[in-house]
Amino acid sequence: MATIELNHVSKTYSGDVRAVSEATLAFRDGEFIVLVGPSGCGKSTLLRMIAGLEAITGGTVAIGGRVVNDLPPKDRDVAMVFQNYALYPHMTVEKNMAFGLLRRRQHSGLSGLLFHATERRAELAAIERKVLDTARTLGIEPLLARLPRALSGGQRQRVALGRALVREPQVFLFDEPLSNLDARLRIEMRAEIRELHRRTKASMVYVTHDQEEAMTLADRMVVMKFGVVQQFGTPGECYARPANRFVAGFVGTPVMNFIDGRVDAGVFVSTDMRVPLPAARWPRMPAGPATLGVRPDQLRVLHSADAGAGNTATEGTSVPATVRAIERLGDRMDIAVMIGGTRLTARIENDDRLVEGDSVLVHIGLGAAHLFASGEDGARLADAHDVAR
């Protein structure tokens, strides 16, 4: 159980390829941290620097208050689970789990062998016991005598977990551990890892590219892009108050709708629509280019027959649109609509009457909408909620 502090941590490869730049983060003791981002964002590199598998080229990493920059992995008291499981193919499950526990013999040579034979036997018995206990908690006890080649993917991942668990480290590190599993198994294992965290109360750092996995697992999550930390906060914060357009787009499914335009005298204007901005939320918004971000569940689609039925929302605007595509999900549906040249996705209650080509009225709700400075990674423009906090 330990805190992890990253202070201006950077990784620069030969030349000036920056994999991670100036990451400053503090993880609390026992916290479940998820590093998330698209591939190549530096999340794995950051994890490997914490593990000690990758040299740190700038800044410091401290585990439990101790700077570990120059410590080899074995002295950092961490355990790691790899994407490809990294099970030793020539060892049984039991040996795989025990391998990291067998310490180097303290006394070498024949005298050491004779003198410490009893001691060693006791040590081996202790290890065996520990492996058995861990296997039991993971439900892999019946597999102990098998070789990895005789295991399914899920079983292999469980063994990999067990191998980390049995070492009782201060910090667990996971490098995309579930990405080789099928969707169903992934959800199952996710719950199990969460449960594991609850039980061990160990600090865990978990790398994934899957934002849903990040949201469900994390106490707090670090969203990264191109080696730069975009936001560090709880899943709720990242979803509700994304730091910038990238985070807003990365977190949440379906992806947030972005409409490029400008703010002019309290109204958001794009080529295809005008959306009045409530002054209570965005007081004194200066005029200039901006992007409006609206999550698909904030859009409502009204059949043209129902238009004028008086769906009066407190905030927002209704605009006429055409249905372009429909994806039915059972109780709900994702529907793509065209407002002029702007394509928006809405997630609404299932409505069997809607078909492609229908003319509809789209209501854009602004309750959870955000304004971003223009540009791909434009920062979220502060609103009344931020002031209130």
Partner 1 sequence: MPVTVHANSTGSSAARVTGADRVVAILCFMARDGIAVNVSRIVGITVRWTLGVAAVALVVWAFARVGWRELARSRTDAGGTTLTVLHWSGEGGPEEDDIVESSLRAFEAANPGLHVKRINPGDAGSFYTKLQTMMAAGEPPDIFYVGNERIPSFAALGLMEPLDRFVAADTASTEPGALKIADLYPQVVDAFRYDGNTAGHGTLWGIPKDFTTVGFYYNKDLFRKAGVPLPKDDWTWDDFIATARAIGAAKDDAGEHFTGAEFVTWPAMVRAYLFTEGRDVVGATFDDVTITDPKAMAALERLRAWRHDEEHALTSGRSKIATGSAVFSTGRVGMAGPFGRWVVPEYRRIQAFDWDFAPLPRGSERANIILTVSWSISAQSKHKDDAWKLVRWLTNVEGQKAQARLGLAIPSNRAAAESDAFIDQAKPANDRGFLDAIPTSKVINWPPNAKFEQLLGTNLDEGLKTGNKPLPEAVAAFETLWKQERDSPLGRGGFPAMPWRMLTTIIIAITAAGAAAVVLWFRKRPLPRHEAREERAGFLFASPWIIGFAVFMAFPVVLSLLLSFTSWRGLATLSEAKWVGVGNYQQLLLEDSRFKTSVAVTLYYVLVAVPLGQLLALGAALLMNQKVRGIPFFRAAWYLPSVLAGVGVAVLWRWVFDSDAGLMNSVLAPILSPFGLAPPHWFGADAKTWGAPAFAIMSAWFVGGSMMIYLAGLQGIPDELNEAAEVDGVSRVRRFVGITLPMLGPVILFNVLMAVIGSFQVFTQAFVMTGGEPGDLTRFYVLYLYNQGFEYYEMGYASAMAWILLAVVLVVTVVILRSSARHIYYEALKK
Planar angle of CA 144, 148, 152, nearest 5 degrees: 95
Pairing of strands 220-225, 32-36: parallel
φ/ψ of 122, rounded to 5, equals -65, -40
| Binding range to partner 1, per CB under 8 A, among 18-26, 88-96, 179-187, 244-252 | 88-96
Query: What span, in angstroms and rounded, lies between the C-alpha atoms of 250 and 27?
Result: 22
- Report cis status (omega within 30 of 0) of the bond before 254: yes
What is the maximum alpha-carbon separation in the chain?
94
| x/- letters, 157..196, toward partner 1 (CB under 8 A) | ------x---x-----x-----------------------
Select 76 or 363, whichever has its Cβ closest to partner 1.
76
Where does residue 46 fall: left (phi above 0), alpha (psi -120 to 50 degrees), or beta otherwise?
alpha
Residue found under tokens 């080649």: 149
Question: Partners of 324 in the beta sheet?
Answer: none
Select 150 or 309, whichever has its Cβ closest to partner 1.
150
| x/- letters, 124..163, toward partner 1 (CB under 8 A) | ------------------------xx-------------x
**H helix count then E strand count, the chain:** 10, 20
Please state the closest distance from residue 142 (CB atom) to partner 1, in A.
22
At position 214, the amino acid (one-letter code) is A
CA distances to 71, 149, 166, 273, 338 from 341, in Å? 57, 54, 58, 10, 6
Please state the closest distance from residue 387 (CB atom) to partner 1, in A.
46
Q: How many residues lie near partner 1 (CB under 8 A)?
A: 26
80 contacts partner 1 (rule: CB under 8 A): yes
Q: Of the candidates 15, 65, 89, 286, which one interacts with partner 1 according to CB under 8 A? A: 89
Query: What span, in angstroms and rounded, lies between the C-alpha atoms of 280 and 293?
Result: 18
Count CB-CB contacts under 10 A for residue 41: 24
Q: Of the candidates 73, 154, 254, 365, which one interacts with partner 1 according to CB under 8 A? A: 73
| Binding range to partner 1, per CB under 8 A, among 39-47, 97-105, 128-136, 223-231 | 97-105
Residue found under tokens 């067998």: 102
Select 173 or 339, whichever has its Cβ closest to partner 1.
173
Please state the closest distance from residue 83 (CB atom) to partner 1, in A.
8
Please state the closest distance from residue 132 (CB atom) to partner 1, in A.
18
Binding to partner 1, residues 13-72 (CB under 8 A): 51-53, 72
Query: What span, in angstroms and rounded, lies between the C-alpha atoms of 141 and 200?
Result: 19
Please state the closest distance from residue 18 (CB atom) to partner 1, in A.
20
84 contacts partner 1 (rule: CB under 8 A): yes
Residues that bind partner 1 (CB under 8 A): 51-53, 72-75, 78-80, 82-84, 86, 88-90, 99-100, 102, 104, 148-149, 163, 167, 173
